[in-house]
Structure 1
Amino acid sequence: MAGSSPCASCKLLRRRCAKDCIFAPYFPPDDPHKFAIVHKIFGASNVSKMLQEIPVHQRADAVGSLVYEANARMRDPVYGSVGAISYLQNQVSQLQMELAVAQAEILCIQMQQEPNLPIQLDQDEKSLLLASCNNFNSIPHQYFNFASSSNVIQDPLKRESLWT
């Protein structure tokens, strides 16, 4: 790095940035926050060891993952990125449940409008299903807003991006 400014890691660690600095390609001098947060969570020595053990063509992805996890750990020291993943998985589950309820409502409406639809049910089963539809329609929709069963209380994605 002779003649140019040191990389963000060497600048933060106050050392001379060598030509073969392992951090230089991934922590440019114009983005010091990126290394600062990774250093705070993982430590420069550990990051250096990790990068040395990873093939060169995978290091940029590894640094991206380290930055993501470091940001997630700063926001949620207990769960880190797992908290964000759990939140999103719970949200997907809730949306799948809402979709199933909507599809059941559509089927009920179709069966009420056209009771002779070619559905693979005998007459007793169709009658039971139609009766269930009548009961189903009387249930207030707020009961279908399923709460998350996760231990993660906060929404980690609403505060700010985990990629910064």
Structure 2
Amino acid sequence: MQSILILNGPNLNLLGTRQPEVYGRETLAMVEQLCIDHAVKAGLTAHCLQSNHEGALLDAIHAARGVHAGIILNAGAFTHTSVALMDAIFSVEVPTVEVHLSNIHAREEFRHKSYISRAALGQICGFGSQGYLMAIDALAATLLPKETQLQDAR
């Protein structure tokens, strides 16, 4: 089974307690378990990592090459500031879906700009934890047909 990496950036370790009216009441552990379970149903395995440090997220993206078939990235506030994360996604050439719990386009003006979206297959925002499941489904649709095509060619 192909694996995907689910990366969560700064402050997402505070899910459930940080601004629940914006980010919901689910904890990060709950969201990660939801993703792991959904990935299995989609024919994938999911590995989760959260860091408040940009460098750790960069290292995880670099390490994903050749290990994970896809990445789901909620870069948090780094979405709006990190050219380095965008460059890393372009560099490793691992299909990446950008996810946000809230609708960043309905929030403050500075949140409307995403450097990640320039390198991502697509962006899902505003659906809470369901957005991660949508991203898993999107990656499965992108990744699994290739696997099927390879099996058919044998």
State if a TM-score over 0.5 links the two structures.
no
TM-score (norm 2): 0.25
Structure showing greater radius of gyration is 1
Query: Which protein is richer in strand relative to its size?
Result: 2
More helix by share: 1
